[in-house]
Amino acid sequence: MTESVQTGSNVSIALLHYPVYDKNRQVVATAVTNLDLHDIARSAKTFGLFRYYVVTPVPEQRALAERIGRHWLEGWGSTYNPKRKAALELMRVVPGLDDVLHDLEDVYGRPAKIVMTGAQGRTGNISCADLVGLLRDFDQPYLLVFGTGWGLTEEAFARADLVLEPIKGPGDYNHLSVRSAAAIILDRLLGR
Amino acid sequence: MTESVQTGSNVSIALLHYPVYDKNRQVVATAVTNLDLHDIARSAKTFGLFRYYVVTPVPEQRALAERIGRHWLEGWGSTYNPKRKAALELMRVVPGLDDVLHDLEDVYGRPAKIVMTGAQGRTGNISCADLVGLLRDFDQPYLLVFGTGWGLTEEAFARADLVLEPIKGPGDYNHLSVRSAAAIILDRLLGR
C-alpha cells in the first residue's frame, strides 16, 4: 500500500459535548449541533480519517445525532446527496471517551494516543509539524479530541498523551469555531 | 508598521449566495445560513482580514443577515459574547459583487484582485503558496470569493483575476463545507 493511501488511516477525531466548560467555566454537557456533524464528517472524509466520534452522555442527544446520521445514510438523504452519506458513514455516536478508546483498541489492537486540542497554549504543546512526523507510524492509532462550548475541561486535558498547539493568526484573536479549527488542524496534519 | 501587523490587512473575503449552482446545475440564489456568518467572520478575524462581505441580491435575506449581525453588535449579544462582536464587526451585507468591488476601491484607491475559489481544478489555477507571495504587496487589495450551494457559476468565474487551487486531502473526496474550506484557505494564506 502506498503512503498516500494510508495517510490518515490511523487517525480518528472525537467531538466531546462533555466534559466542557460553559461561558462561566461551569462544567456542562452541550447540545449536539447539526452542522458540527456534517462539517466535521466532511473534513474527516476529505483528509482520510478512520472514524469521527460524536460523544455525549445524554441519551436524547445521542438519539438526535443518530437520527440525523440515519437520514443521510439510509433515508431519502442517501440518494439525494451521496457525498453526505460517504462522510457520515465515518460517524459513531457514543456516551463517553472511554467508549471511543475501547472501539479503537478493538480495531488496532493497541491503545490510541490521545491528542487534545484547545485555544489556549499549554506547557509542552506539540506543534502540528512534529505531530505530522508521529502520524507516519501507521500502526499507532491517534485520536484528535475537540471540545464544544468553551472548551475541554482540565479533567479532560488530564487524559491527554499530547496537547496540540493552538491555531493562531497574525493577531491575538483566536476564537475559531470548532468546525473551523478541526478543518485547519486536519489540513495541517494530513493535507498535501 | 511591522509585517505581522499588516498581514491580512489587504485581504477581504466575500461569500456569494448568487450566482451559484444548485444540485442540478441550475443558477440560484441560496439562503443565508446563520453559521456561515459566524464561522467565516471568526475565521476572518483570526487571520486579520479587512472585511467579510455577505453577498445576496435578495432583500429579505440581506435583512436577515443584518439582523443577525445587529444582535451581536448592538443588542444583548454584544455584552454576552464580545468575541462574536469583534468578528461580526468585519461583516458587510451587500447585493452584489460590484458593490464589494466599489467598496474596496473606495478604501484602497485601486481595484481589488478577484481570487475565486472552488472544489474543481481549473487550468491556470494559482497555488496557495504562490498567492502568499502576491499578498505581500500590501498596497494591492485582494478579494477571496467563495460560493454557497454547489459552487460559483461559470459566469462568476469569468470575472476572476486568479483562481485558487482546490483543497485536497489524500483521497478523491473533496466536499468540504464552505465554512471549512474558507478556514483552511485563510490558514494556508495567512496562518503562521
One digit per residue, the tens of pLDDT, for chain A of length 192 reads: 444 447 899 999 999 999 999 999 999 999 999 999 999 999 999 999 999 999 999 999 999 999 999 989 997 888 888 888 999 999 999 999 999 999 999 999 999 999 999 998 888 899 999 999 999 999 999 999 999 999 999 999 999 999 999 998 888 898 999 999 999 999 999 997
Residue with more model confidence, A6 or B136: B136
- Cβ contacts below 8 Å, chain A against chain B, sum to 133
pLDDT confidence of B2, banded at 50, 70, 90?
A: very low
The number of folded domains in chain A is 1
- List all residues of chain A from 52 to 81 with a beta carbon under 8 Å from chain B: 80-81
Interface touch A4/B35, C-beta < 8 Å: no
Q: Out of B42, B169, B176, whose CB is closest to A176?
A: B42
Partner residue opposite B180 with nearest CB, options A39, A48, A171: A39
Q: Is the ipTM of this complex over 0.90?
A: yes
Can you give the pLDDT at residue B109?
97
Q: Can you give the residue range of the structural domain that contains A38?
A: 3-190
A171 touches chain B (CB under 8 A): yes
DSSP 8-class letter at A164 = B
pLDDT band (50, 70, 90) for residue B3: very low
- What is the pLDDT, as a whole number, of residue B18? 97
> Which residues are A169's β-sheet partners?
none
Crossing angle of helices A34-46 and B178-190, rounded to 10°: 60
pLDDT at A7: 86
Q: What is the pLDDT of residues B69-125, one digit of tens each?
A: 998 999 788 888 888 899 999 999 999 999 999 999 999 999 999 999 999 888 889
Amino acid A2: pLDDT = 46
To the nearest whole angstrom, how far is the Cα of B27 from the nearest Cα of chain A? 18
Instruction: Give percent of chain B with pLDDT exceeding 90.
Output: 82
How many whole angstroms separate alpha carbon A14 and alpha carbon B177?
18
CATH of the domain at A117: 3.40.1280.10
Do the beta carbons of residue A89 and residue A73 sit within 8 Å? Answer: yes
Q: Inform me whether the pLDDT recorded for B147 exceeds 60.
A: yes
Q: What is the pLDDT of residue A80?
A: 84
pLDDT for A4 equals 47
Instruction: Tell me what percent of chain B is helix, strand and coil, each rounded to the nearest 5.
Output: 40, 15, 40
Give the confidence band of B127 by pLDDT, cuts at 50, 70, 90: very high
Pairwise CB contact (< 8 Å): A8 & B170:
yes
Cell numbers given for A123: 506547557
